[in-house]
Structure 1
Amino acid sequence: MDVKIGVLALQGDVAEHIAAFQRALDTIPDVRGSVVEVREAAQIPSLDAIAIPGGESTTISRLIEKNRMHEALTGFSGGIFATCAGMVLMAHRVEDPRIRPLGLIDMDVDRNAFGRQRESFEADISIRGLDAPFHAVFIRAPVVRSVGPAVTVLAAVDHGIVAVSQGKHMALSFHPELGGDLRLHRLFLEGLGIA
């Protein structure tokens, strides 16, 4: 099976997402996978999945608009794996008027819910679908305040919900691409019938 994953390469930790997804694909028997940077809307229909990386959500939102990618992303038939700022963009509702959310996951999200950069932290959290805790890195992370009935909550901490899925999409407020644990990448790919 040939699989092509795109990483939205407008801003944020693009290289880390490319490396993590390539490593995850390399562990799956009978899959020939490639991971590419996505900078233009015309690239999106040829992909099986997209990663929207962490970064600065207002900047990424503005660049999605500038590059006329909003409609291509909202109409994308594959799965989207979104982390940190990507989670903010996937929401139906965001409190910041500078962000035009994609509305692909029925959730309300607060940006920077844990505070400033110095309040960044790491924690071992339990995640639905994984048999052991996941070491999560939270950097100026968002939190989900509420979800609709179609959303599956995958993980929560004291501040609120930090991992969700809906249909083919998965959104995480932390950065799984920064560690060597590929279980969430594999879980996402399994949801697409790839792993």
Structure 2
Amino acid sequence: MHDDVFEGVLTQGVNAQLMTDAHRAEWAVDGVAFVFSDTNDEERKQALLDFRMELVTALEQFLIDFSDRRQLSENGTLCLLQAVTTQMSQCGLANLDRCSRAGEYMVGGAHLKQHVNYNISCMDAGPLGEALKLTLGCLKEGFQFLQRTVRTHIEDGAGDDMSTQGCDPSSRMYQCATLRFTTKPGLESPHGQDEILCDVLDVYDEVFIKET
């Protein structure tokens, strides 16, 4: 739908954006942490490739094992991989922006830091059986100016207010959401095809702006 490209190590079901940005986030796959440790320029390229390979392989194997336990078909497994890894990429963060106050601002400054993390594990969904739980979060801090991305009308009729506002570096924005992926194999589906459903369990966002 959005012309996403999918790649991978064990499959061709991993969103390419996840692979591109892998080193820019912190990850946890079934309780195992993956954090890229930066290195010097000569070794960085190979270190990036090794990190992506290790992370993507672990994530693919985790999702394949889950799919096997849920008796999904090969195509259903591929669809699950695509759905989950798309939310574990910039697309997931964009979805957070669309439903949060933090998404109403663009922030910047020399000391801006963005911390992104993804955590995926299994959970008991009661009558729905074993499910996947994905938590994604984004913290922005250290920024020194911001601009609203939502246009606000100026009362005197001069136009829309898109001015840049300075702020103290102690300002911060935090967004977090928990998603649940449930599945039903084709043998149990009235349509004869695997079903994959994604529900939002909770969403939280915090915007703290301290004026200069």
**TM-score bracket for this pair, using the shorter chain length:** under 0.3
**TM-score, length-scaled by structure 2:** 0.26
Question: Rg bigger for which structure?
Answer: 2
**TM-score, length-scaled by structure 1:** 0.28
Bigger helix share: 2
